[in-house]
Amino acid sequence: MAKASGEQHASPVRWLAPSGLRGRLLLLIAFVLLPAFGLILYTFAEQRTAAADRARGDALWLIRLVAAEHRALMESAQQQLLGLAQLPFVTHRNQAALCNRSFAGMLRHQPHYANLGVIDPDGNLRCSALPFGAPVNLADREYFRRAVQTRGIVIGDYQVGRVTGKSGINVAYPLFDSAGTLTGVVFVALDMASWLARVIAKTPLPEGSTLTVLDPRGTMLARHPDPDRWVGKTLPSAPLVQAILTHNGEGTTESRGVDGVERLYVYTPFAFSPDNKVYISAGIPTAVAYADVDRMLARSLVLLAIIATVVLLAVRWGSHILVLRPAAALIEAARKFGGGDLGARTGMSHAGGEFGRLAQTFDEMATALEARDRRLHAVEDERRLADARFADILRNAPDAVISIDTDQKILLFNRGAEAIFGYRPDEVVGRSLAMLLPARHAASHGGQVRRFAAGNELSREMGAQRDIQGRRKDGGEFPAVVTISKLEHNGETVMTAILRDITERKRAEDEIRRLNADLERRVRERTAQLTAANRELEAFSYSVSHDLRAPLRAIDGFSQALVEDYAGRLDDQADDYLQRVRAATQRMGQLIDDLLRLSRVTRAEMRHVPVDLSTLAAEIVAELRKSAPQRTVETVIAPGLTTRGDPALLRVMLENLLGNAWKFTGRTEGARIEFAATRGDNGEPLFRVRDNGAGFDMTYVDKLFGTFQRLHSPDEFPGTGIGLATVQRVVHRHGGHIHAEGAPGGGATFTFTLPEDSQYGNEQQQQQEDQETDNGRREVYPAG
């Protein structure tokens, strides 16, 4: 509709203006040239009018001149007649011969005279310059009658002479004798044609001009040129004659002459007397009158044409350079761009002018469009890639992916589905989903799917309560898990089920269940065994603590009884043996106690309460001092060392560490025992128990914490080799680490961590004490 109206709209526009730029430009140029053309025409019209005026003026001047000449001719003819009237051979009728001779002579000197003659009063020609044969009677001539009548000089009408045969005017004068009786009439016949020729010869008339003398009846009395052809003819219907006769005065007219030539005529009446009137008309051919003007017009037009040609060529060339080329470049760029070449640019300068701006706008638009196109392409590529990826995922997914519509007709059936169900896509697409389900389940599944389709959920795992069964092409059924999701596009709902055959998984689950049951059974058995073993261990340690000690006590007790009761009866050797028996039993008792403690440390239930290690250490040191009041031992216990743990176990630990330190400084002068803490690498407190006692060889550091491992002989330092094993277990049970450093005779340092909420008091104070220690108050005991 819009298109149609546009077309309707376009056509008049196209008609009004050429569609091409060059055409429009040329049209503009034509608009410019048109006034010049008009001006030229106007000037031409003006000049033509001026030329006509000039021609009229010339003609007027000519006819006035002719009239004056005519008058002069008439007057000279009158003078001539007055003179002739005095001559005897004129007045005397009998001197005709002389008269003829004289007149003939005169006629030779008077070129304008057609004839000279005398007429008798009866009208017979008496004498004539031109010879005449038969008598000629001129009594009917108007000039004769008027001369007789008026008895004065008469200028006759234009007439054609009977003797001369020429047109002319006769001037007559009556002759009287002394009595006043008319004796004759002397006349001169003026040869108007030759006169007129002479007058014209003197006058520069343009070529083709005519001069005509008419009488009031329209008879041509004289004409130049071609007098012979026209004189005497009456042409009352000729336009000029009409104009002259109707106008009856001086005037001009432009009309076609009798010879068919267009002329500009000027005419004026001329009269010798009131009743003797003629008209003189001069005609100048319009072609001649307008020749200059027309030439000028032609020149102007030629010039204009040349200018127009030059201008149009210039415009054509200029428009090509200035307009068409950029326009063509723009069009070409637009065409290429439109044709799909998005890299197309105008290649034009963007500087200045509408074309520059247009080119810039176009280039910018093209760049923007190209960028957008690139982006679109990128997006498109991405989308295609995503589609391809999605398609690959769909194709290669081991799960069955099946799309159905709301009527549960299968739309999509991927390769995974083929593998699982054994159908080819063409066997199922378009058919009902029910074919993939066991017949007995189809109805309930269909209902579930329908409810899902109608519901608000977007995805859902089907068969959450019980397994879904699928049916293969061969009729076999298999357990499956199905997730169904819903998508709506353009009002169309598509549901996609992702289905996995879980036969294997089921089997694996069953296997796992079976294995689990088996495992549980075995755990139960093992637990029972362990419980039994534990009970045995308990019984063992109980009986160790009870039953093993009893015999030892008996051995010791009775050995003592022997020593006491048989004193004097046993020799020294026997006493020594009994003492050895007692020592051995007591060591065994200690061993049993330590072992029991070690096992208790391992078995005991842990408590987790705040423990003040500083206080604990102080108590232990106090007990040690009490057990050996004779010893002088410097002890340094940093205050504020706390942790969280089992107080009993921590006490056992510190008892062993401090007890060891106490024991191994037993032979050291200036014995010193220190319990302190420093900050470890990761900020945790590093507790340490340091002594300056016997120390140990680092070679055996690995054995230090082993059960029953001793680095000193019992003679040197008594011990069971269980204490440090117990310490390590306590530390480990608290999640910490312990290590030892030492040198034979160089003392030992036990460093341990207790990660749970440990504090290390005032670090600075400890460092100070460290320095004191390092300042050499320690004495090195010789290695033993």
Residue 674 Cβ vs another protein, minimum distance, rounded to whole Å: 31
Residue 582 Cβ vs another protein, minimum distance, rounded to whole Å: 7
Identify which of residues 549 and 778 has a Cβ nearer to another protein in the complex. 549
Q: Dihedrals φ, ψ of 468, to 5°?
A: -90, 140
Identify which of residues 72 and 561 has a Cβ nearer to another protein in the complex. 561
- Secondary structure (H, E, C), 415-466: HHHHHHHCCCHHHHCCCEHHHHCCHHHHHHHHHHHHHHHHCCCCEEEECCCC
Taking alpha carbons only, the member of 711, 694, 693 closest to residue 783 is: 694
Neighbours of 168 (CB within 10 A): 27
Identify which of residues 191 and 594 has a Cβ nearer to another protein in the complex. 594
Residue 735 Cβ vs another protein, minimum distance, rounded to whole Å: 23
Which stretches of 177-300 are assigned E, i.e. beta strand? 182-191, 210-214, 220-224, 251-256, 262-273, 276-285
Residue 543 Cβ vs another protein, minimum distance, rounded to whole Å: 8
Identify which of residues 69 and 556 has a Cβ nearer to another protein in the complex. 556
Instruction: Give the tokens for residue 722.
Output: 């269980």
Residue 652 Cβ vs another protein, minimum distance, rounded to whole Å: 12
SS3 667: coil
Identify which of residues 106 and 592 has a Cβ nearer to another protein in the complex. 592
Identify which of residues 37 and 558 has a Cβ nearer to another protein in the complex. 558
The gap from C-alpha 48 to its chain's centroid, in whole angstroms, comes to 66
Instruction: Give the tokens for residue 559.
Output: 């050995």
Identify which of residues 378 and 561 has a Cβ nearer to another protein in the complex. 561
Identify which of residues 93 and 587 has a Cβ nearer to another protein in the complex. 587
DSSP state of 342: T
Residue 575 Cβ vs another protein, minimum distance, rounded to whole Å: 15
> Could you tell me where the DSSP H helices lie in 203-341?
227-230, 239-247, 286-289, 291-318, 325-338
Please answer whether residues 190 and 196 qualify as being in contact, where contact means their C-beta atoms are separated by less than 8 angstroms. no
User: What CA–CA distance (Å, rounded) separates 678 from 684?
Assistant: 8
User: What CA–CA distance (Å, rounded) separates 424 from 426?
Assistant: 5
Residue 550 Cβ vs another protein, minimum distance, rounded to whole Å: 5
Instruction: Give the tokens for residue 678.
Output: 């420093």
SS3 250: coil
User: What CA–CA distance (Å, rounded) separates 236 from 387?
Assistant: 110
Identify which of residues 38 and 551 has a Cβ nearer to another protein in the complex. 551
User: What CA–CA distance (Å, rounded) separates 211 from 283?
Assistant: 6
Residue 712 Cβ vs another protein, minimum distance, rounded to whole Å: 22
Identify which of residues 487 and 537 has a Cβ nearer to another protein in the complex. 537
Residue 556 Cβ vs another protein, minimum distance, rounded to whole Å: 5
User: What CA–CA distance (Å, rounded) separates 254 from 252?
Assistant: 7
Identify which of residues 590 and 773 has a Cβ nearer to another protein in the complex. 590
**Region at 161 (left for phi over 0; alpha for psi -120 to 50; beta for the rest):** beta
User: What CA–CA distance (Å, rounded) separates 447 from 465?
Assistant: 16
Residue 606 Cβ vs another protein, minimum distance, rounded to whole Å: 14
Taking alpha carbons only, the member of 448, 481, 477 closest to residue 464 is: 481
Identify which of residues 475 and 629 has a Cβ nearer to another protein in the complex. 629
User: What CA–CA distance (Å, rounded) separates 251 from 266?
Assistant: 6
Residue 761 Cβ vs another protein, minimum distance, rounded to whole Å: 31
Residue 598 Cβ vs another protein, minimum distance, rounded to whole Å: 14
Identify which of residues 76 and 560 has a Cβ nearer to another protein in the complex. 560
Q: For the range 481-487, what are the long-range contacts, defined as Cβ-Cβ under 8 Å and sequence gap of 24 or more?
A: 483/459, 484/449, 484/452, 484/459, 484/460, 485/458, 485/459, 485/460, 486/452, 486/453, 486/457, 486/458, 486/459
Instruction: Give the tokens for residue 577.
Output: 């043996």
The gap from C-alpha 118 to its chain's centroid, in whole angstroms, comes to 118
Residue 754 Cβ vs another protein, minimum distance, rounded to whole Å: 23
Please answer whether residues 154 and 172 qualify as being in contact, where contact means their C-beta atoms are separated by less than 8 angstroms. yes
Q: Per residue in 499-528, is it b (16+ CB within 10 Å) or e — as a string? A: bbbbeeeeeeeeeeeeeeeeeeeeeeeeee
Residue 784 Cβ vs another protein, minimum distance, rounded to whole Å: 27
Identify which of residues 330 and 588 has a Cβ nearer to another protein in the complex. 588
Identify which of residues 329 and 588 has a Cβ nearer to another protein in the complex. 588
Residue 597 Cβ vs another protein, minimum distance, rounded to whole Å: 9
Please answer whether residues 395 and 415 qualify as being in contact, where contact means their C-beta atoms are separated by less than 8 angstroms. yes
User: What CA–CA distance (Å, rounded) separates 170 from 192?
Assistant: 10
Identify which of residues 603 and 737 has a Cβ nearer to another protein in the complex. 603
Cα-Cα-Cα-Cα torsion 299, 300, 304, 305, nearest 10 degrees, comes to -30
Residue 579 Cβ vs another protein, minimum distance, rounded to whole Å: 12
Identify which of residues 566 and 700 has a Cβ nearer to another protein in the complex. 566
Residue numbers at the binding site for another protein (CB under 8 A): 541-542, 545-547, 549-554, 556-561, 582, 585-586, 588-590, 592-593, 596, 600
Residue 710 Cβ vs another protein, minimum distance, rounded to whole Å: 20
User: What CA–CA distance (Å, rounded) separates 415 from 419?
Assistant: 6
